[in-house]
Amino acid sequence: MAVETARAEPDSEERRERRGIKKGLYLLPSAFTAANIGMGYYAVMASLRGFQLLDADPAAATANFDNAARAIGWAMLFDALDGRIARMTKTTTEMGIQLDSLADVLTFGIAPAVLAYAWGYGAAFADGSQAQKLGWFVSFMFLICGALRLARFNVQATRPRPLAEGTAKVDKKNFVGLPIPAAAGLIASIVHFAPTPLKSYGGDLPSLYGGLIMGLIAALGPLMVSTIRYSSFKGVGGTRRSTARVVLLVASVGMLVWLYSRYTLLAIVSAYVLHGIVFRLASLFRFRQPQESH
């Protein structure tokens, strides 16, 4: 009996250790989500600080806007990792899904809307002018469209069948509508490419550039709630043959981002935002052979 008890104790300890490791794995995706939230909070605070320093210290304001854009970029990386890690470790939970959506509203909804306003058209136009009021409205519409995009994604993920007639079917290889991280990434990459606030430009350039940025923000909102399909890249690296190519591609892109971050990030995000539109236009103008008459 003593021998059997001695054998049972290590087994029970091993099981407890395995359960402890399993519980720790559940915390790993949430840790990346928490980092995502932290980056979003930092981006908002840096944008507000930059807006305060526009007149007193333009150089410090530029640095704050650039840091806010960088924080959104880091948040995109954390957002991509938390879901992939959860799927790899099979630790996806309902609470984690909801927490991730709330984090995305802050980091990719509120933060880029505040950054675009503080860096761009908020200071480029006179206080109380109609253009500045329009900027408030455009930033709000970007935020609300992003929230609707996340809500639709969550519903489609839990109920993959069409909810109503005309609703697009869910395809794991594609996103329906522009993902909100990509929309926020485009804003952040533009600010990172030219972090100097638009107010610092001379002549009529602040109003011109402010209007262009406002038009871009106004276009990103409808893209998020549209039915245009964007690649999800979830199938990339799924086979052994493609793993080496993916590693090589990631290493190459990582080095380019390290050396030429302003150009590389803007090119990558712009290409992603445009590729869905190009494919949709190509499908509309694709030649269709007439059906044979019977």
Model confidence at 159, pLDDT cuts 50, 70, 90, reads low
How far, in whole angstroms, is CA 152 from its chain's centroid? Answer: 16
Residue 184 lies in a domain: yes
Query: What pLDDT, on the 0 to 100 scale, is given for residue 293?
Result: 45
**Dmax over Cα atoms in the chain, in whole Å?**
92
Q: Which structural domain range is residue 155 located in?
A: 15-235
pLDDT digit string, tens, across residues 51-94: 999 989 999 999 999 999 999 999 999 988 877 776 676 666 67
Model confidence at 12, pLDDT cuts 50, 70, 90, reads low
pLDDT digit string, tens, across residues 198-248: 988 888 899 999 999 999 999 999 999 998 999 877 666 555 666 777 778
Gap between the Cα atoms of 199 and 192, Å rounded: 16
Gap between the Cα atoms of 56 and 262, Å rounded: 26
Answer yes or no: are the C-beta atoms of 173 and 155 closer than 8 Å.
Answer: no
Cα 172 to Cα 153, 154, 159, 260, 273, distances in angstroms? 11, 13, 13, 32, 18
Q: How many structural domains compose the chain?
A: 1
CB 291: neighbour CB atoms within 10 A? Answer: 6
Q: Angle of helix 205-224 relative to helix 261-284, nearest 10 degrees?
A: 50
Residue 203 lies in a domain: yes
Percent of the residues in the chain that have a pLDDT greater than 70, as a whole number: 76
Gap between the Cα atoms of 101 and 291, Å rounded: 45
Model confidence at 251, pLDDT cuts 50, 70, 90, reads confident
CB 182: neighbour CB atoms within 10 A? Answer: 21
Gap between the terminal Cα atoms of the chain? 86
Residue 146 lies in a domain: yes
Residue 253 lies in a domain: no
Gap between the Cα atoms of 267 and 280, Å rounded: 20
Residue 144 lies in a domain: yes
Whole-prediction pTM? 0.82
How far, in whole angstroms, is CA 124 from its chain's centroid? Answer: 26
CB 245: neighbour CB atoms within 10 A? Answer: 12
Residue 127 lies in a domain: yes
What's the token pair of residue 174? 């594609």
Answer yes or no: are the C-beta atoms of 38 and 71 closer than 8 Å.
Answer: no
Q: Say which CATH number the domain at 224 has.
A: 1.20.120
Query: What pLDDT, on the 0 to 100 scale, is given for residue 289?
Result: 47
236: left (phi over 0), alpha (psi -120 to 50) or beta: beta
Model confidence at 16, pLDDT cuts 50, 70, 90, reads low
Model confidence at 37, pLDDT cuts 50, 70, 90, reads very high
Query: What pLDDT, on the 0 to 100 scale, is given for residue 253?
Result: 86
Answer yes or no: are the C-beta atoms of 137 and 214 closer than 8 Å.
Answer: no
| DSSP element (H, E) containing 230 | strand 229-231
76 closest CA partner among 285, 272, 280: 272
Residue 8 lies in a domain: no
